[in-house]
Amino acid sequence: MAKQTIRDIDWNGKRALVRVDFNVPLENGRITDDTRIRAALPTIQYLLDQNASVVLMSHLGRPKKKVVDSLRLAPIAQHLSNLIDQPVKSIPVTTGADATAAVQTLQPKDVLILENTRFDPREEANDQSMAQELAELGDVYVNDAFGAAHRAHASTEGVAHLLPAVSGFLMEKELAELGSLLADPERPFIAIIGGAKISDKIGVITNLLGMVDTLLIGGGMANTFLLAQGVAIGDSLAEPDAVNQVHEILSLVGNSRAELLLPTDCVIADAMDANARKNIVNIHAVPAGWRILDIGPETVATFGSKIHGAKTVLWNGPMGYFEAAPFAEGTRGIAQALAESTARTVVGGGDSVAAIEQMNLADKVTHISTGGGASLELLEGRVLPGVAALNDKS
């Protein structure tokens, strides 16, 4: 069911209580990547243009239910102020009398940011009293924090039941891109799944098998498939405990429309180290003591030709230990195939997004999902609590 958006509200003179995801990486108090802040700007700007006042709330880092000075939002307010070229007030509390007093001074087109929601132990407990206190700070609730929508917290879920609740533009776009991919993909629809561990993505793989035409598996997780098939993988990263689940997946493949492809060659090394000795071998020729750290060129070519033949492509998870340049070629090859493809191409997952950005190919794909955990849960077919709580379009 589609959700109401900020376009469905008459904002004139109203106070918007907006949950954003300003959980940006910091180093010594400096913001090292402000992508998440920029991603919320269209929503903030629209609300200001519509003559609303804007009360922002976000979590930052993992303060573990107490105040941590280095995780205060005042520096974020300053950064946002520079981006939107107007003052952004910040206050050192999230709710309570001081917060209420502060929001009451706001004029239309003013922006205020509340303190880190996770300083309050009630946030992650989705405590009703905190949701109630937050609800008093706005007339309408806006959720633009797609990256936090898989969490049922007071600021992402609880408060949505207490005010008219709509999605912001970022949330709307993420749901539209990932939703249409899953609901009605143009075929052939192929998914490339990689990353370190199969156990993180069993749910995603199982759900996708019911939808895709082809599933390409690479990265560390392919090793557990190989292990299940009795292929010798030396010292490669693998999860023997997940072999039974792999057998279940393989039997699902037998009963589904989908074909599943594993790597046929690989880059091996004698240590997980950029300076290790390396070699390219057939997948059945991994010597004892060596480990698989990337897919090989033959696999890149096979996967690439599948990508070129597809109309819809989903990619989640790097194909190898891409953080080290000698083992980044497989991931680069897949990123390049997506970039060259005319299909609808969607990339989700923290490390895969980092990889495609590092390779300067992010602007060549249809959609980059900003929410790692949230996009994985959507791909598992789960309902995100922060989305479910928003008002349905009538």
Q: Pick from 72, 115, 116, 121: which is nearest to 91 by CA?
A: 115
Taking CB under 6 A as the rule, which mask of x and - marks residues 359-388 in contact with ligand ADP?
A: -------------x----------------
Q: Report whether 304 contacts 329 (CB < 8 A).
A: no
- Of 167 and 352, the one with the shorter C-beta distance to Mg ion is 352
Active site residue 277: no
Q: Is 318 in the site for ligand ADP (CB under 6 A)?
A: yes
- Of 378 and 389, the one with the shorter C-beta distance to ligand ADP is 378
Contact positions with ligand ADP (CB under 6 A) in 290-309:
292-293
CA distance 260 to 244: 17
**If contact means CB under 5 to 8 A according to the sort of partner, which of ligand ADP, Mg ion, none does residue 293 touch?**
ligand ADP
Q: Is 357 in the site for ligand ADP (CB under 6 A)?
A: no
Active site residue 197: yes
Phi/psi of residue 215, nearest 5 degrees: -115, 120
Q: Is 333 in the site for ligand ADP (CB under 6 A)?
A: no
Q: Pick from 80, 146, 43: which is nearest to 367 by CA?
A: 146
Q: Which stretch, 132-140, 147-155, 171-179, 317-325, contacts ligand ADP (CB under 6 A)? A: 317-325
Phi/psi of residue 135, nearest 5 degrees: -60, -30
Please state the closest distance from residue 369 (CB atom) to Mg ion, in A. 12
Residue that is written with structure tokens 């696999």 in the block: 299
Q: What end-to-end distance do the CA atoms of the chain give, in Å?
A: 9
Q: In what order do the strands lie in the sheet with 214-217?
A: 259-261, 214-217, 189-193, 312-316, 344-347, 367-368
Active site residue 158: no
Helix (H) / strand (E) element for 301: namely helix 297-308
CA distance 60 to 37: 12
Kindly state the DSSP code that residue 367 receives in the 8-state scheme: E
Q: Is 34 in the site for ligand ADP (CB under 6 A)?
A: no
Residue nearest to ligand ADP (CB): 195
Q: Report whether 26 contacts 86 (CB < 8 A).
A: no
Q: Of residues 197, 203, 311, 364, which has the active-site annotation?
A: 197
Active site residue 230: no
**If contact means CB under 5 to 8 A according to the sort of partner, which of ligand ADP, Mg ion, none does residue 292 touch?**
ligand ADP
* Residues engaged in binding ligand ADP (CB under 6 A): 195-196, 200, 219-220, 237, 292-293, 316-318, 320-323, 349-352, 372
Q: Which residues are catalytically annotated?
A: 36, 197, 350, 373
